[in-house]
Amino acid sequence: MIRRPPRSTPKPSSAASDVYKRQTFEEVLLKGLADDGGLYIPTEWPEADISKLKECNSFIDIAKLIVPLFTESSYKKEEVVTLLENTWHDFEKSDLVGIKKINEDIFIGELFHGPTAAFKDFGLQLCAAFFNKALEKNNQTAIILGATSGDTGSAAIDACKEYKNIKTFMLLPEGNMTDIQRKQMTTVNQENVFVLNIKGTFDDCQDIVKSAFKDKSFLKHDQVLLAVNSINWIRIIGQICYYFYLGMQINNFSKELCFSVPTGNFGNVFACYSAMKLGLPVKKIAVAVNENDILHRFFSKNLYKKELVNETLSPSMDITVASNFERLIYDFYLERDAETCKNFFDNFPNSPISLSEDVWKKTYDLFCSSSIGDMETTEIMKKIYQDFNYVVDPHTAVGLCVSKIFGGPISSDLVVLSTAHPGKFLDSLKLAEIPTFEKHHTLSEVLNKDEYSYSLEADQDQVFNFIKRNNH
Ligand SMILES: *Cc1c(COP(=O)(O)O)cnc(C)c1O
């Protein structure tokens, strides 16, 4: 078993074992996770053409130069360009991303202007558009089965709901989701969308999803099961685009930027790292986490060890392991030594991961990190409101504890990514004593709509039977 079959055009080579075989873009799209449990990553990093990017005027222009770098093994460039013209929809800003300069050094990259008011619309709308393209081409239909404890579910449902060849079943655990986050899913009320309240934890839900990928007995013969979780490589491609967009808008790639990224599963940070590998001038990446600090423990102490989950004010970052982190270990630290990487992750979480000191030292060339508690989160929300009359959500606030994360003054322009709209987290706004905020175009409607969902035990047979009954 070898992890990480690389993506892109198959190269006939008798020496390559099956799992090392290069996969096409479409294979990676439809498979999600490699057969051995490894994560996909491009065989080699493509190079973005910065001189062409400098001439771009819009987010879509940028996407047209970035996305085709990854898709050529399956689709002609012109096809992808056409797809991209219709991919991102229902954003409240014509250019999708907002940029707010709050002082001399700090820009906020607003990624929450999409229909579900969190940055996940960027990745999941791209994913859904390619799912639809592949299904039409292969004459297939699909079931999407996902588990969500925050914003993935709503973004996936919204991105897929208009595609008639896709049925979405979303498992919601009991727990720390805001009313608005839940209602964004339960109020959709479309024939091809099923929201299942599961009497169990997020891990129970994920286990059911995992066994579904082994079982698949509920599928019809021309049907495929698709994954939308955070290790999905196509989501990362969608996110790489906004890093280039920010670089273009802020200084047209003339100077390195620092990025502060509030993160949980490390997908958004890995997209930033990927953008840098493609050629975006990046000086530092600040990894900002809440009290679920496995990443901060690694970056500050060289110890990647699973602990129990803490419920925080930034629920979309409440994780115990950062599922995309393996990609960074493989590419950045181990310089693509697949065997060593496989050993680490085959034995994880039973054995925590520590790299040899001289390998781990590389961290400071590129990364810094901090863990921010709930108190600090509300304090910074309050302070940003008082100082700049600007309202941020608790996830963004974690990324805005800049002096703590950088441990001193920053030396380049800093972009803090704003991952969600504050209107999703009303209780946190109250705690921070913020009386008012600019409304998001979709959020207030959601509160007054009827909810449609089904309640099931955390039992895979119940879930599979439910899918079977509704799969006609
Ligand atoms: C999902 C999510 C995050 C964490 O994203 P990663 O890709 O795991 O870094 C942060 N903020 C919000 C609002 C989210 O929905």
Q: Give the span between the Cα atoms of 104 and 413, in whole angstroms.
A: 8
Written as one letter, the residue type at 455 is: S
N- to C-terminal Cα distance for the chain? 37
Question: Residues with beta carbon inside 6 Å of ligand 1?
Answer: 118, 120, 150-151, 230, 262-269, 316-317, 395, 419-420
Residue 19 burial by CB count (10 A; 0-12/13-18/19+): exposed, middle or buried? middle
- What is the structure's pLDDT at 395? 98
* Nearest ligand 1 atom, CA 263: 9
How does residue 6 score in pLDDT terms, banded at 50, 70 and 90?
very low
Token reading at 121: 């619309």
- What is the structure's pLDDT at 363? 97
How far does residue 396's CA lie from ligand 1's centre (Å)?
Answer: 10
Query: Which residue's alpha carbon is nearest to atom 10 within ligand 1?
Result: 263
How far does residue 19's CA lie from ligand 1's centre (Å)?
Answer: 30
Residue 53 phi/psi, 5-degree rounding, is: -60, -35
* Nearest ligand 1 atom, CA 239: 7
What are the tens digits of pLDDT across the range 140-185? Answer: 999 999 999 889 999 999 999 999 999 999 999 987 788 899 999 9
Which range has the worst mean pLDDT, 56-70, 90-104, 204-218?
A: 204-218
Can you name the residues that pair with 288 across neighbouring β-strands? 262, 370
Out of 120, 167, 277, 284, the active site residue is 120
Q: How many CB atoms lie within 10 A of CB 150?
A: 25
**More confidently predicted of 31 and 14:** 31
Test site for ligand 1: of 270, 289, 295, 316, most ligand atoms within 8 A of the Cβ: 316
301 flagged as catalytic:
no
* Nearest ligand 1 atom, CA 112: 13
Res. 19: pLDDT tops 70: no
Q: Give the span between the Cα atoms of 16 and 100, in whole angstroms.
A: 49
How does residue 4 score in pLDDT terms, banded at 50, 70 and 90?
low
Test site for ligand 1: of 119, 127, 324, 377, most ligand atoms within 8 A of the Cβ: 119
How far does residue 462's CA lie from ligand 1's centre (Å)?
Answer: 30
Query: Which residue's alpha carbon is nearest to atom 2 within ligand 1?
Result: 316
- What is the structure's pLDDT at 445? 87
Test site for ligand 1: of 111, 237, 263, most ligand atoms within 8 A of the Cβ: 263
How far does residue 229's CA lie from ligand 1's centre (Å)?
Answer: 12
How far does residue 208's CA lie from ligand 1's centre (Å)?
Answer: 22
Q: Are 149 and 114 in contact (CB under 8 A)?
A: no
* Nearest ligand 1 atom, CA 265: 8
How far does residue 316's CA lie from ligand 1's centre (Å)?
Answer: 5
Token reading at 24: 């096409």
Q: Give the span between the Cα atoms of 96 and 293, in whole angstroms.
A: 31
* Nearest ligand 1 atom, CA 155: 15
Test site for ligand 1: of 110, 242, 268, 270, most ligand atoms within 8 A of the Cβ: 268
pTM of the shown model? 0.94
Res. 10: pLDDT tops 70: no
Res. 7: pLDDT tops 90: no
Query: Which residue's alpha carbon is nearest to atom 9 within ligand 1?
Result: 263
What are the tens digits of pLDDT across the range 244-290? Answer: 999 999 999 999 999 999 999 999 999 999 999 999 999 999 999 99
Which range has the worst mean pLDDT, 54-63, 214-223, 281-290?
A: 214-223
Res. 242: pLDDT tops 80: yes
- What is the structure's pLDDT at 357? 97
How far does residue 191's CA lie from ligand 1's centre (Å)?
Answer: 28
User: Across residues 95-108, what is the average pLDDT?
Assistant: 95
Query: Which residue's alpha carbon is nearest to atom 5 within ligand 1?
Result: 263
Instruction: Specify whether the backbone of 201 is left (phi greater than 0), alpha (psi in -120 to 50) or beta.
Output: beta
What are the tens digits of pLDDT across the range 382-421? Answer: 999 999 999 999 999 999 998 889 888 887 899 999 999 9
What are the tens digits of pLDDT across the range 117-146? Answer: 999 999 999 999 999 999 999 999 999 999
Q: Give the span between the Cα atoms of 8 and 73, in whole angstroms.
A: 5
User: Across residues 97-102, what is the average pLDDT?
Assistant: 97
Res. 5: pLDDT tops 50: no
Query: Which residue's alpha carbon is nearest to atom 14 within ligand 1?
Result: 316
